[in-house]
A and B are shown apart, each in its own frame.
Chain A
């Protein structure tokens, strides 16, 4: 078995930007060893862990999706002096980058620093404006010749950050978005081992969510599930942000409500949480959720979809902060939810008429 906290730590410290997810995918496969009946990787890199349900066919087909990629950068060009210009792969706030330590994945891993002009040398106007991405550069502290030998345009760059344990079971680090979701998947599979369930479960570590939720769409097309649940992160309470846009760390996983979420999946998740005494919070949405749930809902003839999120402060920075208890509770909630499914429930998902 695995230790959830340790898994979260190793997953968040692993490097894997969109299109380059092999490292975290490998850790997921290792963690799922003994928990899944089959493990495979599809043509574009999604990791699919299959757990067969009990009983005769037809069995409900459930897809879980948690993206394995983290926002990262890519070498766009090597400039004079060996300084690297970058493109983003996923959405960064460029203001969080100056001074950040990074790893450039060239012929070998190289330590770099995102360079910036010190205040002594900046004009008053410059100091009042944040530096856009095109003006940033990475300093590898070596000669241009050495850089050109070891680094190429197209090489991936990830944020360098050790995961830190704060007080009260809180953790801070890079890539909590969405290695927290991937940890949740592993915890869910581990919990399922203790339960009876009829559903065939396909837990997918999806690729390229940060650049348009790509892996989730193609995986759903292939798996054609009866229903799907995406697991991602949502914003934790932060000063100055409207109350409906944030959730409290430590108060439980968040169940989303809104047009992209099938109402019966929402209700069932709430019921299961209440029955099992799992603390949960509700997030109301009015359209796009910005997660893998979005493309899955409209794949082929449509798939009933739900979304569970872990509250996370400082999203898309290198100090993303969450409460481990929320991750654990999310995994347990998912497992109990899966155990509650039967074909009658699945058939009811397309019934919207009162006769």
Chain B
């Protein structure tokens, strides 16, 4: 099952090989040309000879992860995050370490051993460590070394009502949408780019936009969703189940108004639920793409993801499927000359 395989694969920023190989094997038969660039972004070009505007579709392969940076005397591993993680969610979570996916647990001082004032403070990174069960530095060194990577150990599961839980829906869900889309054919030159290092500064996207010089670009993301507990409407950003969320403003981009309005209209015409992303925080590959070269008309469409950047994320499978439908409808509209600048 695609979402399961993608979310359970390991893809720290800069070290996306497992995910890249998995996606490559899924899509290699579906494109004229499949290759990687200097940073490791996987690029699949379809319909290169077709007339019509060139469209770049992106989803990033990397997830927030950890790097082992030191091994302590007693065999515990010191680590630092790669990408933005709220350190408050780390304690007591299992991780998989290194190429072999060795299980470790993120531990800290047990609550019984803490003073009252300590218990009120969130644990900072230097109070956390990963325990793989080693009793000494020497023993640990036979399994891991500084530079090794770790990801959350969460398993994919379908839960609740038409929902799924896994790590890294941000942005394996976007990758899955692109994999499903490349299997269709459009009378347009469409480039599918599975980018690297989005979480560490939108690094992979700019180079691929520069190389491919698209007329339009759309990034498919997993985005923040806090429609829970007593969060007021203006604090939610998106609502799970209300369909794909089209970005308006974020920390790196002010969306091209006409293009985002067109996408919303296409959704409405096709009876696909669509919402707007109602927050200005966060960023995605469009931040780098839209400023590439002489500027690219771009949009971001995201699947609302609860508990993003945390070990157990939740999406709605309806939102996922509606995103696939919406993307297809938008590409058809461009194919038929329904949008130009």
Contacts A259-B13, A284-B147, A354-B21 given; does A301 touch B210 at CB 8 Å: yes
Q: Which residues of B contact A258 (CB under 8 A)?
A: 14, 67, 147
B203 touches A242 (CB 8 A): no
Give Cα distance in the complex from A349 to B83, angstroms: 24
Chain A CB within 8 A of B295 CB: no
Give Cα distance in the complex from A257 to B145, angstroms: 12
Chain A CB within 8 A of B290 CB: no
B37 touches A302 (CB 8 A): yes
A352 touches B211 (CB 8 A): no
Q: Which chain B residue has the least Cβ–Cβ distance from A303?
A: B38
A259 touches B147 (CB 8 A): no
Give Cα distance in the complex from A287 to B202, angstroms: 11
B206 touches A298 (CB 8 A): yes
Chain A CB within 8 A of B126 CB: yes
Contact of A301 among B37, B42, B67, B147 (CB under 8 A): B37
Q: Which residues of B contact A303 (CB under 8 A)?
A: 38
A349 touches B38 (CB 8 A): yes
A287 touches B82 (CB 8 A): yes
Chain A CB within 8 A of B96 CB: no
Chain A CB within 8 A of B282 CB: no
Give Cα distance in the complex from A284 to B69, angstroms: 7
CB within 8 Å of B: which A232-269 residues = 242-244, 257-262
Contact of A259 among B78, B82, B146, B211 (CB under 8 A): B82
- In the complex, what's the smallest C-beta–C-beta distance from A270 to chain B, in angstroms? 11
Chain B CB within 8 A of A277 CB: no
Q: Which residues of A contact B14 (CB under 8 A)?
A: 258-261
Q: Interface SS of chain B: helix, strand, loop or mixed?
A: mixed
A298 touches B203 (CB 8 A): yes
Q: Which chain B residue has the least Cβ–Cβ distance from A294?
A: B201
CB within 8 Å of A: which B30-49 residues = 34-42
Q: Which residues of A contact B15 (CB under 8 A)?
A: 259
Chain B CB within 8 A of A195 CB: no
- In the complex, what's the smallest C-beta–C-beta distance from B211 to chain A, in angstroms? 4
Chain A CB within 8 A of B24 CB: yes
B17 touches A352 (CB 8 A): yes
Chain A CB within 8 A of B137 CB: no
B78 touches A244 (CB 8 A): yes
Chain B CB within 8 A of A286 CB: yes
Q: Which residues of B contact A353 (CB under 8 A)?
A: 20-21, 24, 34-36, 42
A304 touches B38 (CB 8 A): yes
Contacts A297-B39, A302-B37 given; does A282 touch B210 at CB 8 Å: no
Chain B CB within 8 A of A38 CB: no
Give Cα distance in the complex from A354 to B23, angstroms: 12
Interface size class of B (residues with CB under 8 A): 35 or more
A297 touches B203 (CB 8 A): yes
Q: Which residues of B contact A261 (CB under 8 A)?
A: 14
Q: Which chain A residue has the least Cβ–Cβ distance from B40?
A: A352
B35 touches A350 (CB 8 A): yes
Chain A CB within 8 A of B254 CB: no
Chain A CB within 8 A of B181 CB: no
A259 touches B38 (CB 8 A): no
Give Cα distance in the complex from A303 to B37, angstroms: 9
Give Cα distance in the complex from A219 to B20, angstroms: 31
Give Cα distance in the complex from A282 to B148, angstroms: 13
B36 touches A350 (CB 8 A): yes
Chain A CB within 8 A of B242 CB: no
As a 0/1 sequence over residues 130 to 154 of chain B, the CB contacts with chain A under 8 angstroms (1 = contact) are 0000000000000000110000000
Contact of B37 among A282, A286, A350 (CB under 8 A): A350
Chain B CB within 8 A of A288 CB: yes
- In the complex, what's the smallest C-beta–C-beta distance from B22 to chain A, in angstroms? 11
Q: Which residues of B contact A259 (CB under 8 A)?
A: 12-15, 82, 197, 200, 203
Chain A CB within 8 A of B3 CB: no
Chain B CB within 8 A of A351 CB: yes
Give Cα distance in the complex from A243 to B126, angstroms: 12
As a 0/1 sequence over residues 175 to 203 of chain B, the CB contacts with chain A under 8 angstroms (1 = contact) are 00000000000000000000001001101
Give Cα distance in the complex from A44 to B258, angstroms: 38
Give Cα distance in the complex from A308 to B186, angstroms: 47
B39 touches A302 (CB 8 A): yes
As a 0/1 sequence over residues 208 to 228 of chain B, the CB contacts with chain A under 8 angstroms (1 = contact) are 101100000000000000000
As a 0/1 sequence over residues 300 to 317 of chain A, the CB contacts with chain B under 8 angstroms (1 = contact) are 111110000000000000
Chain A CB within 8 A of B273 CB: no
Q: Which residues of A contact B208 (CB under 8 A)?
A: 301-302
Give Cα distance in the complex from A230 to B85, angstroms: 29
B67 touches A286 (CB 8 A): yes
Q: Which residues of B contact A257 (CB under 8 A)?
A: 147
Q: Which chain B residue has the least Cβ–Cβ distance from A257?
A: B147
11 A-B pairs (CB sep. < 8 Å) = A243-B70, A259-B14, A259-B82, A260-B200, A260-B203, A287-B13, A288-B201, A301-B38, A352-B17, A352-B20, A353-B20
Instruction: Pick the 10 closest A-B CB pairs, nearest first.
Output: A259-B14, A302-B207, A244-B69, A302-B38, A352-B36, A301-B211, A286-B82, A287-B200, A352-B40, A302-B39
B-to-A contact residues, CB < 8 Å? 12-15, 17, 20-21, 24, 34-42, 67, 69-70, 78, 80-83, 126, 146-147, 197, 200-201, 203-204, 206-208, 210-211, 288
A-to-B contact residues, CB < 8 Å? 242-244, 257-262, 282, 284, 286-288, 297-298, 300-304, 349-354
**A242-B70, A244-B69, A302-B208 are known contacts; what are 15 more A-B pairs with Cβ within 8 Å?**
A244-B70, A244-B80, A260-B200, A282-B146, A286-B81, A288-B201, A298-B203, A298-B206, A298-B288, A301-B37, A301-B207, A301-B210, A302-B38, A302-B39, A304-B38
